[in-house]
Amino acid sequence: MSQALNKPPTTDELYRGYPKRLAEEAKYSKDRLLSHKTLPDSVPRQRGVRLPPDTSRETFDEAIAALQQELGKDNVVVNDKPLIDGWYLEHPNTHDAFHLVDQEDLVASAVAYPGSTRETQAIVRWANKYGIPLWPISMGRNLGYGGSAPRVPGSVVVDLGMRMNKILSIDAENASCVVEPGVSYFQLYEEIQKRKLPLWIDCPDLGGGSVLGNAIDRGVGYTPMGDHFANHCGMEIVLPTGELLRTGMGALPGKDGKDNPTWQSFQAAYGPYVDGIFSQSNFGIVTQMGMWLMRETGHQSYMFTFPRDEDFPAIVEAMRPLAQNRILGNIPQLRHIVQELNVTGLPKSHWYDKSGPIPRDVIREHSKQLPIGECSWVFYGTQYGDEASINTQLQLIKATFSSIAGTRFYLPKDLPDDHYIHSRAKVCSGVPVLRELDWLNWKPNAAHLFFSPITPTKGVDAQVVHDLNVKLHEKYNFDLFPTLCVAGREMHYITNIIFDRSSNDEKKRANALMRELIASAAAEGYGEYRTHLLYADQVAGTYNWGNGALLKFNETIKDALDPNGIMAPGRNGIWPKKYRGKGWEILGDENEKAVGGGTIAPKSKL
């Protein structure tokens, strides 16, 4: 059936669906996105099932039969069907929907669906027996960083979300919850509403991701509890040998076999704080996680605009003391005016019908027609508390930003109902939405890729990273969409590189742009906080102080915990001994070469 005819699932029908309150938005979003699609839903596979490295078809079939015996036939599915990229709410768990190399390159050989921690342990023991690499995902929606795709083609994707998607507890007094991997922001939010609890969640720009998956990948949201990993409390982990570990206070057994009553109250417990090594790593599969929730409070979103491109360093200087003094209530965003065109959801061709990036003067002309009028930088913030304290905070913020001539201030009520600020106001008060999907209408068959360096919250540093971005986006002919997520001492400077999946030329340019951005930022001393799996080796290689001391340390842990190298080999640039130095690392232009029929598979066998 063509995708266009499918109705996307609601959260009542499928754990990864959308809540009914967003039915209209989901339909509109899907219709609009598919109307820009020129690619077919799928094309016949050229290469057949991609087997795990060094595994014959015979051994693979035997191994799959053994796993099916353990989990049930329906819970282990060989990936031999056509690959469908789908869209956000119907995304694949077999490959990268936003493929930067061939669609058939970063693919799973099979997908396994554990229904419990015990079954997850069984999968891990099975993988050790057959030497088959696993790739655990919770929801697989970190699109822009690789989605569900495994780094080693032919790995078995362990899709935890499908059957492990329960909210295990919500403790309203402690303002915390415990979730399984398949609990989405939508699901957690709806449950809290259903129970009428005075609690907020913190969600990222889109609400369909996994609460647990996003936290261990160190994603961010926008309320005062926007640092997701910093607000987790306690984990349960299946180690690469199949053993089970509980971190934090969970390591101390509760009375009568119950969970420890302080597991979600105190993070570090006793001894080394090990949770960190299970974030952005391949040291285990997280099967449960505690998350802190926020107490409901008053809130007011708002916007400032700044007139000139050159105001950028001054804005950063103004934001720093406001953030350090915790006057800025959340993780605000600073964006360039070009994003105001983009978040309307209209295609680029509506604004500019030539190829190549939209020239600055064209953006300026169009921005005159927008409700906020002509400007260069746009700041989205939210303040929290009672009305009187919000007003005091806003006065201070206005006084600080007024040092930049021509600054304007807007509240949501000043702007039309369909303006993006209303969606930001929801996200910044913990209401998960879909609106951010509108970005993808920019190009036909649009996919995106994030370049995500960290800069100090200082004008000079931010300017260096910004200038690099401007120069290299120009060189590779891409529009530059910078979004800065602002904290007191650092900013996540995120650029969203939007490319057309049907164009090999765009894929090659996007790959080359990423490689050069990473290298040039590192040469200036700036590094990424997260990256697409194709650049993991390059980014890990930039953190090379002390002759690569950090990577060596990670490899030592990896080899100790995962002697057979079965757990997500290559994730975050960490390769187990079995793979290390055998041609798997991507450090040169292999990605560009793999577009249009090439392969990123290893140069040598294991």
Question: Which of residues 53 and 181 has its CB atom nearest to ligand ADP in the complex?
Answer: 181
| Residue 286 CB, nearest approach to ligand ADP (Å) | 4
| Assigned token pair, 190 | 């709806």
| Residue 186 CB, nearest approach to ligand ADP (Å) | 12
Question: Which of residues 166 and 364 has its CB atom nearest to ligand ADP in the complex?
Answer: 166
Look-up of token digits 């996307």: 8
List the beta strands (DSSP E) in 431-563: 446-451, 454-456, 482-486, 490-500
Torsion on CA atoms 463, 466, 471, 475, rounded to nearest 10? 170
Sign, CA torsion 537/539/545/551: negative
Exposed, middle or buried: residue 46 (CB in 10 Å: 0-12, 13-18, 19+)? exposed
The reply to whether 432 sits near ligand ADP by the rule CB under 6 A is no
The reply to whether 434 sits near ligand ADP by the rule CB under 6 A is no
Q: CA 306, CA 168: separation in Å to the nearest integer?
A: 46
238: which strand partners? 244, 285
The reply to whether 165 sits near ligand ADP by the rule CB under 6 A is no
Question: Which of residues 136 and 248 has its CB atom nearest to ligand ADP in the complex?
Answer: 136
The reply to whether 188 sits near ligand ADP by the rule CB under 6 A is no
Question: Which of residues 204 and 332 has its CB atom nearest to ligand ADP in the complex?
Answer: 204
| Residue 474 CB, nearest approach to ligand ADP (Å) | 31
| Residue 136 CB, nearest approach to ligand ADP (Å) | 4
**Site stretch for ligand ADP (CB under 6 A), options 108-116, 205-213, 267-275, 497-505:** 205-213
| Residue 120 CB, nearest approach to ligand ADP (Å) | 9
Catalytic residue among 15, 113, 145, 535: 145
| Residue 96 CB, nearest approach to ligand ADP (Å) | 10
113 is catalytic: no
Catalytic residue among 424, 530, 535, 571: 530
Catalytic residue among 218, 529, 543, 580: 529
From residue 539 to residue 578, the character string flagging contacts with ligand ADP as x (rule: CB under 6 A) and all else as - is -----------------------------x--x-------
**Helix, strand, coil percentages, rounded to 5, for the chain:** 35, 15, 45
| Residue 568 CB, nearest approach to ligand ADP (Å) | 6
**Site stretch for ligand ADP (CB under 6 A), options 204-212, 302-310, 329-337, 494-502:** 204-212
The reply to whether 151 sits near ligand ADP by the rule CB under 6 A is no
Q: Which of 55, 117, 165, 210 binds ligand ADP (CB under 6 A)?
A: 210
420 is catalytic: no
Residue 22's closest CA among 8, 35, 36, 34? 8
529 is catalytic: yes
Question: Which of residues 213 and 459 has its CB atom nearest to ligand ADP in the complex?
Answer: 213
Q: CA 65, CA 75: separation in Å to the nearest integer?
A: 11
Look-up of token digits 């951010």: 436
Q: Which of 286, 303, 375, 480 binds ligand ADP (CB under 6 A)?
A: 286
Question: Which of residues 88 and 304 has its CB atom nearest to ligand ADP in the complex?
Answer: 88
Residue 317's closest CA among 138, 448, 488? 488
Question: Which of residues 332 and 569 has its CB atom nearest to ligand ADP in the complex?
Answer: 569
Q: CA 483, CA 156: separation in Å to the nearest integer?
A: 35
Q: CA 378, CA 186: separation in Å to the nearest integer?
A: 28
Residues 80-139 that bind ligand ADP (CB under 6 A): 136-139
| Residue 137 CB, nearest approach to ligand ADP (Å) | 4
The reply to whether 181 sits near ligand ADP by the rule CB under 6 A is yes
| Residue 36 CB, nearest approach to ligand ADP (Å) | 23
Q: CA 173, CA 595: separation in Å to the nearest integer?
A: 53
Q: Which of 140, 207, 453, 573 binds ligand ADP (CB under 6 A)?
A: 140
The reply to whether 347 sits near ligand ADP by the rule CB under 6 A is no
Question: Which of residues 236 and 585 has its CB atom nearest to ligand ADP in the complex?
Answer: 236
Q: How many CA atoms lie within 13 A of 16 on its CB side?
A: 22
Residue 54's closest CA among 132, 128, 129, 134? 132
The reply to whether 531 sits near ligand ADP by the rule CB under 6 A is no
| Residue 405 CB, nearest approach to ligand ADP (Å) | 41
Question: In terms of residues, how long is the chain?
Answer: 606
Question: Which of residues 366 and 492 has its CB atom nearest to ligand ADP in the complex?
Answer: 492
For every residue of 194-256, DSSP letters joined together read HTT-SEE----SSTTSBHHHHHHTT-B-SSTT-BTGGGEEEEEEE-TTS-EEE-GGGGSPPGG
Q: CA 266, CA 77: separation in Å to the nearest integer?
A: 40
For every residue of 554-589, DSSP letters joined together read HHHHHHHH-TT--BSTTGGG---TTTTTTT----SS
**Site stretch for ligand ADP (CB under 6 A), options 209-217, 361-369, 453-461, 586-594:** 209-217
Q: Which of 50, 141, 246, 443 binds ligand ADP (CB under 6 A)?
A: 141
Contact predicate 91/83, CB 8 Å? no
From residue 211 to residue 250, the character string flagging contacts with ligand ADP as x (rule: CB under 6 A) and all else as - is -xxx-xx---------------------------------
| Residue 296 CB, nearest approach to ligand ADP (Å) | 24
Name the strand (E) or helix (H) holding 156. Answer: strand 156-159
CA distances from 123 to 158, 423, 473, 603 (A): 8, 41, 43, 29
Spatial CB neighbours of 536, under 8 Å, sequence gap ≥ 6: 151, 570, 571, 572, 573, 586
| Assigned token pair, 113 | 């669906």
Question: Which of residues 119 and 217 has its CB atom nearest to ligand ADP in the complex?
Answer: 217
Torsion on CA atoms 267, 271, 272, 273, rounded to nearest 10? 0
For residue 9, the 8-state DSSP code is: P
Q: Total residues at the site for ligand ADP (CB under 6 A)?
A: 20
- Write the single-letter amino acid at 3: Q
Catalytic residue annotation = 145, 529-530
Site residues (CB under 6 A) for ligand ADP?
Answer: 136-142, 160, 181, 209-210, 212-214, 216-217, 285-286, 568, 571
